[in-house]
Amino acid sequence: MNAPIKNADSIWRDAVKIIQSHYKNEFFNSINNIVDILFDCFTKNGRLLVFGNGGSAADAQHICGELVGRFQKERSPLDALALTTNTSVLTAWANDYDYHTVFSRQIEAYGRPGDVAWGISTSGNSGNVVQGLKKAKEIGLFTVGLLGGGGGQCIKYCDVSLVVDSKDTPRIQEIHLISYHIICALLEERIFQND
């Protein structure tokens, strides 16, 4: 039987090292800017549209679960919609037209000026996320990117982006999760501070 290439300890240490490397003001400024955009959106009765592929699709649903449900406080729901959950829309559009436009089509349907489109891509180059952010900009939505690598093509269409400086997908996903939990905590506290 072959020995594992890495052991749990080395993977853990690598993860902690990458997380610690993002502990800097620039990263926190991006988080605060995202909170500001979402605060403005929700306090003006806007909607958040979140989207990504694979694990990032799961993150989109997780974010919406925290905002529509609750994160840490009992409170009213926030209008957040994951564009990754309506299988009839996703499969009909992808089959009849193009998978690269499954998010942009939904943004056309659900998005209004002043809403926020939040794209998630560990590479920053997911074609349908790029197209979704591009369409959102065209129709007057604010755009947020939760990205990896150097931000890829997505960064061109983001008003605010939080870029994890890594090409290691699991580590990017872990920092994304920590980041959107921080965003949810700060946003919930700010919007519902008097509740």
What residues are designated binding site?
Answer: 53-55, 62, 66, 95-96, 121-123, 126, 173, 181
Binding residues for substrate: 53-55, 66, 95-96, 121-123, 126, 173
Binding residues for Zn(2+): 62, 66, 173, 181
User: Rounded to whole angstroms, how far apart are CA atoms 125 and 194?
Assistant: 40
Contacts for 177-184: CB closer than 8 Å, 24+ residues apart: 177/59, 177/62, 178/19, 179/31, 179/146, 180/59, 180/62, 180/63, 180/66, 180/146, 181/66, 181/71, 182/31, 183/31, 183/34, 183/35, 183/38, 184/63, 184/66, 184/67, 184/71
User: Rounded to whole angstroms, how far apart are CA atoms 172 and 124?
Assistant: 11
User: Rounded to whole angstroms, how far apart are CA atoms 13 and 15?
Assistant: 5
Q: Are 114 and 82 in contact (CB under 8 A)?
A: no
Tokens of 53: 């592929």
Q: Are 140 and 161 in contact (CB under 8 A)?
A: no
